[in-house]
Chain A
Amino acid sequence: MSDAKQILYRVRRYDPARDGAPRWQDFTIPRTPGMTVLDGLWTIKQTLDATLAWRASCRMGVCGSCGMLVNGRPRLACNTQVSELGADVVALAPLPNFDIIRDLVPDLAPAFDAHQALMPFIVREDVQERENPTGEFGQSAEELEHYLQFSYCIKCGCCMAACPTYATDPSYSGPMPLAQAHRYNADTRDEGFRNRKETLAGERGPWRCHFAGECSRVCPKGVDPAKAIQLMKRELVLDYLRLRRAHASAPVAPKPKDGKRRPDVPDAPARTV
């Protein structure tokens, strides 16, 4: 890599109103110390081509909006410094395995649909307590560790773009939704394993995964979807063999008796729903 003061951005462009197919367009922009891939995109938009489209929001690897293919690998543009790429060319394309809406904007709706189908929320049989809670569901620090790693997922879609199974099989749910299904299955406050099993046992479930491991390699948050999927397979096999020990549902934790309210802490606002 040279110490050039310029950097070449090669960007995959697609305008549905004008282009029949995606095409490459080159932009040469100033290279600055600490410059991220996202910084370069903003420079292009501000100085060279205002029509360039991509998604971004937080600029700090939290919102999961700016996932894109950076020099052939799914990454977050805001989390990737140009210097760490070790190249004189930054090639940017939309995340593969999703339709292109425009330029670097993929249509992530199929991933969110699959995510929604696996009920990514706490399912409880005591509906009364769920709808009108009287307290918190108790959970130990050890129980928290069973799913905490998987709860860091920001739904950026990088794992879905890297998965070779999802590349050939659109009916497969993909690493993100499946990891989130395990995140809730492993949560002691949740009682939704039986409901999710309906989907997990079919062709959308984890059985199409054969551990290429790419989802875990590219995950910008260290969520390790491959681990979640394998651990979920074990639970499903044990359940099929009637050997699974379902976790006891976390009860409502008793309220502390001796605590005193600090006078400088205001009351919670009234419920609006």
Chain B
Amino acid sequence: MLKVQGHPNRLGVRGWAVGGRWGLERYLYTLHRLTGVGLILYLLLHILVTSSRAFGQAAWEAAMGRVSGPVFHAGEYLVFAAFAFHAMNGIRLVLVELGFGVGKPIEPVYPYKTSVDFQRSLAVGSLVLAGVLLVLGTLDFFVLD
């Protein structure tokens, strides 16, 4: 294959948001990645805080004291919101990536109906379930607490 030295034009992270028709599933894709990164960062913080128990009761209480303010409480709520979305959307992705809900190969006749249309009810359903989880979590965090 002929090799040509062209001008780089790869979108990079911008490609998560631009370059297509901005469908719902693209936003879910981006949000899934962002919430995934957020949950990993929380996990690291969680391990860091709980590992302080290995250094004695005083170290543990000091660490817990540092993360007990309103800022961290709000942060925990955001972690829960990220979990609610990531878990429900993750279930949709497992189903879709195993070929469920995307439909069978069809004769493409314009206007085209694609696998994105076939699985749309799954996408909406996962968002509704994430919303229900979020409402329950909100009640637990701010009302029943």
Contacts and interface: CB of A to CB of B under 8 A. Distances in A.
Interface in A120-168: 145-150, 152, 161-164, 166-168
Contacts of A211: 25, 29, 93, 96-97, 119
Interface in A183-211: 186, 209-211
Interface in A64-109: 69, 72-74, 94, 96-101, 106-107, 109
Interface residues of A, number: 59
A41 interface: no
28 contacts: A14-B7, A16-B7, A73-B20, A74-B19, A96-B11, A97-B10, A97-B19, A99-B5, A99-B9, A100-B7, A101-B4, A162-B21, A164-B19, A168-B12, A168-B13, A168-B16, A186-B105, A212-B26, A214-B23, A216-B116, A218-B20, A219-B112, A221-B108, A224-B115, A230-B98, A230-B99, A233-B97, A234-B99
A85 to B, nearest CB: 13
Nearest to A232: B99
Contacts of A223: 108
A10 interface: no
Most buried by A among B23, B26, B99: B99
Given A167-B13, A230-B96, 10 more contacts: A97-B11, A164-B19, A167-B12, A168-B11, A210-B32, A211-B93, A211-B96, A224-B115, A227-B102, A230-B98
Contacts of B6: 16, 98-101, 106-107
A74 B20 contact: yes
A22 B10 contact: no
Nearest to B21: A217
A96 B15 contact: yes
Interface in A42-82: 69, 72-74
Contacts of A233: 97-99
A213 B29 CA distance: 9
B3 interface: yes
A163 B11 CA distance: 10
Interface of B: 1-16, 18-21, 23, 25-26, 28-30, 32, 93, 96-99, 102-110, 112, 114-116, 118-119
B77 to A, nearest CB: 26
B98 A237 contact: yes
Contacts of B30: 164, 212
Counting from the closest, the 7 A-B pairs by CB-CB distance are: A167-B15, A222-B108, A99-B6, A222-B112, A234-B99, A214-B20, A227-B115
A234 B115 CA distance: 15
A246 interface: no
B32 to A, nearest CB: 7
A202 B8 CA distance: 25
Contact of A21 (B7, B26, B102, B119): B7
Contacts of B107: 145, 148-149
